[in-house]
A and B are shown apart, each in its own frame.
Chain A
Amino acid sequence: MERFDVVIIGGGPAGMAAALGARESGASVAILERDDRLGGILNQCIHNGFGLHYFGEELTGPEYAKRFRDQVTKDGGIKVFLEAMVLSLTEDRLVRAISPTAGLLEIEAGSVVLAMGCRERSAGAIALAGTRPAGIYTAGMAQRLSNIDGYLVGKEVVILGSGDIGLIMARRMTSEGAKVKLVAEIMPFSSGLKRNIVQCLNDYDIPLRYSTTVTRVAGEGRLVGVYVAPVDDKMVPDLSREEYIPCDTLLLSVGLIPENDLLNGSKVEMSRVTSGAVVDEYRQTSVPGVFSAGNVLHVHDLVDNVSEEAFVAGRSAAGFARGELSGGDTVNVLPSQGVRYALPQRIHKGEGKIKIYFRVDKVYQGRTVVVKCGEEVIRKKKTLVMAPGEMQNIEIDASLVTGDVSIYTEE
């Protein structure tokens, strides 16, 4: 059986950055990726907008992925298994995978980094009423079909949900000659990035209706139309105001779900808010030696943050494998008043800076973010606008942490 200090599950941007972080710390590293190439979801994101923070320039998804891939494969120091899908992970970190070339693989890991990314919420998961024709896709599925396979799914489009992939696909399909008739968002705000709303919808005069949902779909072989209606503040649609929109395509951009199926039945503590693991600032989960980073931990809007987070996870995983990762007591990071979640959920007392990522629960203007430890305010930051679609962060001084930390917003 092969053994590596650090085994990374998933070879997207998170997996690749984790591998580089671990390698830099001198560990032996393996990446297991089920696709036939590294890069993850970036391979199908042919639009610009990646890497502004990390590389200081605007790259397409495949370009961003290539920068990392080149480093990962540079000197053969990182073993990459492609078309290798991890099937299970045991408590003593035995990783089982399957691949056409190696058959059943068993690998012993000093530590593990979970970097499996996320999946899209489906029509079934939102219990979409109506018939079951062709013409209904998650936005990412339509994106793969156009950007990897070279085929367009339809010509007259309604998009449900204003997540980033939906917004990007609105522009992509418009540029291919399709007509995007409406983006319907059930919430009173978008979960997508502001810049995507401007660049993908406003620039193309695509209407975005808030507090609106698709109530049912019609069509037998192929979709022929959808019904939309406004919703009240409990998200119940007002069916008396149902409106029919003829279209051949419905794209769903209604949420991403971290792909943590590998952890079913494991002892890793999960967060009900993020659907990812609960971690400390090293991105270590409640099970020692198991780390998590990227979209499998919490859904990111910028790949730059993914890379940064995963690099930390990889470096820490290498430290763990060498028996050098500092342990010690942790305190909780508790979100309240406008903060939906904060990550890491646990931090160690000690030295240095700790960056806390968080998301707010609705759009806020001119609020102050406060981090408090006991009665002590340890950090305050004034903000202009905060929206749920844009992940925020605030840095605190670990030496000021004496007990549980709360993070909230105030006028």
Chain B
Amino acid sequence: MERFDVIVIGGGVVGTAVLRSLAAYKAKVLLLEKSSDVATGASRANSGIVHAGYDAETGTKKAYFNVKGAAMFPSLTRELHVPYRMVGSLVAAKEGGLPAIKALYERGVNNGVKVEIIEREKIEALEPNIAPDIKYALYAPEAGVVSPYKLTIAQADHAVVNGAEIRLEEKVVGISESAGGYLVVTDKAEYHASYVVNAAGAGAVEINALLGESTPEMKHAVGDYYILDSKAAGVVNTVVFPLPDEKGKGILVAPTADGNVILGPTSRVVPHDEAEINAVTREGLALVREGVGKLIPKVDMRSVIRVYAGTRTAVGGDFIIEESCKFKNYFMLLGICSPGLTSAPAIGEYVAEKVSAALHLQKKEAMRPLPPRFRLTEASDEDIKAKIALDPSYGRIVCRCEKVTEGEILSAIHSPLPAHTVDAVKRRVRAGMGRCQGGFCRPRVMEILSRELSIPLSEVRLGDKGSEIAPYEVKDGYGKI
């Protein structure tokens, strides 16, 4: 049986943040993820907003980790080469909304967040397309947007570069106390760990149950989204929220870190057994359109390129970030809903400190940096020429909408945490994320995966097991020309 100092369960933005922070210590660490890639749960399908921190109740863990996490983003994203832009956010209110804006302002000040109340003229300067009846706004200049899956993947890659291990498609199915630590059983193997971190998102309740730890009731709410073509960028500059209500922060309009526009989310309560299905509904989309119309009526719905849904997991009002009282060296991260993405880097550091204290781990002298990915659309002519001269595959465009080269796709397939599905390639290099949604490049990406992984095309998957894209061979002998 393999033995590890620490096992982290769950490869979302929280689990990978913990793993990366642990990789700074001299320790043997492993992350187990049941899906075919990291960033397939809530960390894939969310708004991608780095919240400024005025929203959370003062004194809560949410407020603490949000503010601390947000401050880490500029340097963290630079270090990990993750798309992030500090675009600022507005909470927009009509006539009569000023008291609510003032309350948010007070909370922002108490939480130590830079906030400002602005009126029509300044709002228009920031958002020329804002709805005509918007009079006041809370402006938080340090809010930002980030690519949530790229952050998760980069944290994973960085951890691997520094010696951590990640095993995909291994679902934790058993966990029990054993020899001063834990026996962790997956559908493939058994491990021993001195310390276990439960970062399984919606699945955290099952992990707790396997061990015999109790979990407060979890609530799940699905959010539906639209993504618009990059051609629509410019219709909105900052993250524009309505006034929050009892359901949450409401339906927003924002630029994404990768240059598209995002609209959503709704908040539809679903039972626990639907927490990982993420189905978009027509009613949900209708609500998004309605909400968007109230903020930025100029948004052109003809430039929609994608709809999707993500599911939040909450336990009561605050995050649960604590070591179990019942089980020593068992850490629980429960109900990490919004602002969980923003908080993740700070949560990672915090958990790693707790773990290192418990296991008396030594810090490494330094961490090895994560090398940047070559990106055709961001490189200079000189760099492009040099790159192609060295490796011609960087001159072969595979995804025409996003201008992704074969070389970039190969580098994704052979990254520290390798991409071995079409969706995993897509999340790393954007092949198939543009306006044609892979209509042209998906077969080509499949051909490359088939070649690089030495598997027949019929075994190439979109994502998890059972998602083979073209499972049967044709009989009449066509193809293979």
- Partner-contacting stretch, out of B175-183, B352-360, B456-464: B456-464
What's the minimum C-beta distance from A348 to chain B, rounded to whole angstroms? 33
- Cα A132 to Cα B279 with chains together (Å): 8
What's the minimum C-beta distance from B407 to chain A, rounded to whole angstroms? 9
What's the minimum C-beta distance from A274 to chain B, rounded to whole angstroms? 15
List chain A residues, Cβ under 8 A from B72: none
- Cα A134 to Cα B467 with chains together (Å): 5
| Interfacial residues of chain B within 363-422, with CB under 8 A of chain A in the complex | 376, 381, 384-385, 388-389, 392-397, 400-401, 403, 405
List chain B residues, Cβ under 8 A from A85: 397, 400
List chain A residues, Cβ under 8 A from B401: 261
Given contacts A103-B395, A104-B388, A123-B437, contact A222 B468 (CB under 8 A): yes
B447 touches A149 (CB 8 A): yes
List chain A residues, Cβ under 8 A from B478: 46, 146-147, 150
A152 touches B473 (CB 8 A): yes
Chain B 462-478 interface 0/1 with A at a Cβ cutoff of 8 Å (1 = within): 11111111111111101
- Cα A130 to Cα B395 with chains together (Å): 37
B434 and chain A: residue at smallest CB distance: A261
Count contacts on B: residues with CB < 8 A to the other chain: 63
B439 touches A138 (CB 8 A): yes
Given contacts A127-B226, A141-B442, contact A104 B384 (CB under 8 A): yes
A25 at the interface (CB under 8 A from B): no
- Cα A141 to Cα B472 with chains together (Å): 15
List chain B residues, Cβ under 8 A from A148: 443, 479, 481
What's the minimum C-beta distance from A266 to chain B, rounded to whole angstroms? 13
- Cα A48 to Cα B476 with chains together (Å): 16
A124 at the interface (CB under 8 A from B): yes
Contact of A151 among B304, B458, B466 (CB under 8 A): B458
- Partner-contacting stretch, out of B75-83, B124-132, B305-313: B305-313
B307 touches A151 (CB 8 A): no
A96 and chain B: residue at smallest CB distance: B381
What's the minimum C-beta distance from A267 to chain B, rounded to whole angstroms? 17
- Chain A interface residue number, banded: 35 or more
B480 at the interface (CB under 8 A from A): yes
- Partner-contacting stretch, out of B160-168, B212-220, B280-288: B280-288
| Interfacial residues of chain B within 198-231, with CB under 8 A of chain A in the complex | 226-227, 231
List chain B residues, Cβ under 8 A from A140: 439
- Cα A85 to Cα B396 with chains together (Å): 8
- Cα A123 to Cα B308 with chains together (Å): 11
B479 touches A151 (CB 8 A): yes
A122 touches B305 (CB 8 A): yes
A83 at the interface (CB under 8 A from B): yes
A264 and chain B: residue at smallest CB distance: B231
A34 touches B400 (CB 8 A): yes
List chain A residues, Cβ under 8 A from B405: 98
- Partner-contacting stretch, out of A213-221, A284-292, A359-367, A394-402: A213-221
A67 at the interface (CB under 8 A from B): no
A119 touches B440 (CB 8 A): yes
B463 touches A221 (CB 8 A): yes
A325 at the interface (CB under 8 A from B): no
B278 at the interface (CB under 8 A from A): yes
Would you mind naming 6 contact pairs between A and B with Cβ atoms under 8 Å apart? A87-B403, A122-B439, A128-B280, A146-B478, A151-B479, A216-B279
